[in-house]
Amino acid sequence: MSQTATVQPVTRHLRQIVASGVGNAVEWYDWYVYSFLATVFAPQIFHAGNSTADVLSAFAVFAASFLLRPIGGLLVGNLADRIGRKNTLVLTISTMGLGSLIVGLTPTFEAVGVWAPIILVFGRLISGLSVGGEFAANTVFLVESAPPNRRGFYSSFQYVSTTLGQLLASGLAALLVNILSPADMSAWGWRIPFIVGALLSLVGLWIRRGTEETLVVKAITERPKLFDALVKYPKPSLLIIGVTIAGTILYYTWTTYLATYVPANGGVNSGQFLIISTIALFFFMVIQPVIGILSDRWGRKPFLIACAGIFALGIVPALSLFSHSEFAGTLVITLLGMLVLSGFTAISAAVNAEIIPTHVRSAGIGFPYSLTVALFGGTAPFVGTLLKSWGVPGYFGWYVAALCVVSLLVYIFALKETAHKPLPE
């Protein structure tokens, strides 16, 4: 085989990964900019007169936008099963850019009154619809682009790109917080990351238009109907829910809610934790492919079981330790959590794709996954903040631990090892 023939497949696969990843990074950059800056812009938009009420309102919108994710997963996922993954991914990155732009240009409550939160909600709902469809198409696109013995490795780039977007969000937020005065940050500085996100979406759109389609439609195959995945494959749909519960609550707890929880309860301030978060996210991004490669060799189940089991036992002590830790201790705890969490994130795309057949794969993953994320992941910051306002912040750790136990039972007793089997047709 010539060197040219060897290089061409490598280049093609790399192009598929980059095309998928750049759009995914932009999608999640916008998502996490909102969570990082919620405490800054909430008083400008909601104007409740109470800082806790304003933050609760901002996180309620964050949670509400997740409610459209299952709809996006179903509608856009079915679209990906019908017209292909590539065209669908172009659509999702375009709508995410629009949602980000709307939020960045939202007028203040003082300027337009109640229309301010209405406009903000509209922008976030567009983003929620887009992200639900994004995961449905992007997960399948990545795994279908992979050689059979590298699906875990390719799967890991789902969260490599997600984390890259989050790093950009965290880094830009930290930069703005440290160079702008609190008054400037509150008045106009918080808008900058959202407008940057809208511009970055144009880059993602351009790159995705050059990717290759992975869906092969057979001439005799009937185009799937909207609810075919749920009606014809109910057990795989339920299995995806069980697989996802622990991973999503852990992911949003560790990468989103900690930005609010630690400064309020720990020994570091918001600026310091943004630095910790940036370091931890970089580590998290680097470790993903390693776990993905190991899962291709050792299987998916050991990593899923380890992730859910360790957090089930350790989440309550870990959250308690944050209350007594300074910068170094907080960084160590955060890094250890990221390492354990990688047991789910690096391989979740592969696990989901290996559960359900090709012709309904995007919708079959998109709806149950996004529904689970909406119920347990998107609500994590709100539940944590609400429990704190009730004077029982410690209950949040037990809530997370209980959900980890649910998925742990699924991993042990219901999930079959799929790493070394072909994708279901």
Domains defined for the chain, CATH in brackets = 12-209+224-413 (1.20.1250.20)
Burial class (CB in 10 A: 0-12, 13-18, 19+), 353: buried
What is the DSSP secondary structure assignment for residue 374, as one 8-state letter? I
Burial class (CB in 10 A: 0-12, 13-18, 19+), 280: buried
CA distance 24 to 31: 11
| 50-62: average pLDDT | 74
- Please count the residues of the chain: 425
Judged by phi (left if over 0) then psi (alpha if -120 to 50, else beta), residue 112 lies in alpha
Looking at 271-280, 311-320, 399-408, which range is the least confident one? Answer: 271-280
pLDDT reported for residue 48: 65
Looking at 8-22, 97-111, 288-302, 305-319, which range is the least confident one? Answer: 8-22
Residue 3 has pLDDT above 60, yes or no: no
Bigger pLDDT: 216 vs 344: 344
Bigger pLDDT: 34 vs 152: 152
Residue 251 has pLDDT above 60, yes or no: yes
Q: At what angle do helices 191-208 and 85-104 cross, to 10 degrees?
A: 160
Q: Is 393 helix (H, G, I), strand (E, B) or coil?
A: coil
pLDDT reported for residue 217: 61
pLDDT reported for residue 7: 42
Q: pLDDT confidence of 49, banded at 50, 70, 90?
A: low
- The amino acid that residue 215 corresponds to is L
What backbone phi and psi angles, to 5 degrees, belong to 394? Answer: -65, -20
- Which residue, chain included where needed, has tokens 């808008």? 191
Question: How far apart are the two ends of the chain, measured CA to CA in Å?
Answer: 30
pLDDT reported for residue 337: 97
Residue 328 has pLDDT above 70, yes or no: yes
Q: Per the structure block, which two tokens stand in for 377?
A: 């992941």
Question: Which has the closest alpha carbon to 221: 359, 354, 74?
Answer: 359
Residue 400 has pLDDT above 90, yes or no: yes
| 346-357: average pLDDT | 95
CA distance 411 to 302: 9
Q: Per the structure block, which two tokens stand in for 365?
A: 């993953």
CA distance 289 to 161: 11
| 72-82: average pLDDT | 90
Q: Per the structure block, which two tokens stand in for 371?
A: 């529904």
CA distance 359 to 363: 9
| 154-160: average pLDDT | 94
- The amino acid that residue 285 corresponds to is M
| 141-156: average pLDDT | 92
Residue 9 has pLDDT above 80, yes or no: no
Residue 6 has pLDDT above 70, yes or no: no
pLDDT reported for residue 336: 97
Instruction: Say what percent of the chain tops pLDDT 90.
Output: 44
pLDDT reported for residue 1: 45
pLDDT reported for residue 220: 45
pLDDT reported for residue 169: 85
CA distance 159 to 157: 5
Q: To the nearest 10°, report the CA torsion of 238, 350, 278, 310.
A: 60
Cα–Cα distances (Å) from 26 to 92, 164, 176, in that order, read 11, 9, 19
Highest mean pLDDT among 20-34, 123-137, 311-325: 311-325
Residue 139 has pLDDT above 90, yes or no: no
CA distance 253 to 256: 6
Averaged confidence pLDDT in the chain: 87
What is the dihedral sign for C-alpha 194, 67, 230, 355? positive
Bigger pLDDT: 32 vs 257: 257
CA distance 136 to 120: 25
Residue 146 has pLDDT above 80, yes or no: yes
Q: At what angle do helices 380-389 and 234-252 cross, to 10 degrees?
A: 50
What is the DSSP secondary structure assignment for residue 415, as one 8-state letter? P
Residue 371 has pLDDT above 70, yes or no: yes
Residue 289 has pLDDT above 90, yes or no: yes
* Pair 309, 344: CB distance under 8 Å: no
Cα–Cα distances (Å) from 410 to 12, 86, 99, in that order, read 36, 32, 36
* Pair 141, 162: CB distance under 8 Å: no
Q: Which residues, in sequence order, are CB contacts of 172 under 8 Å at separation 6+? A: 33, 192, 193, 196
Residue 8 has pLDDT above 60, yes or no: no
pLDDT reported for residue 5: 42
Q: Per the structure block, which two tokens stand in for 258?
A: 């900690």
Q: pLDDT confidence of 24, banded at 50, 70, 90?
A: confident
| 225-236: average pLDDT | 91
pLDDT reported for residue 86: 86
Q: pLDDT confidence of 281, banded at 50, 70, 90?
A: confident
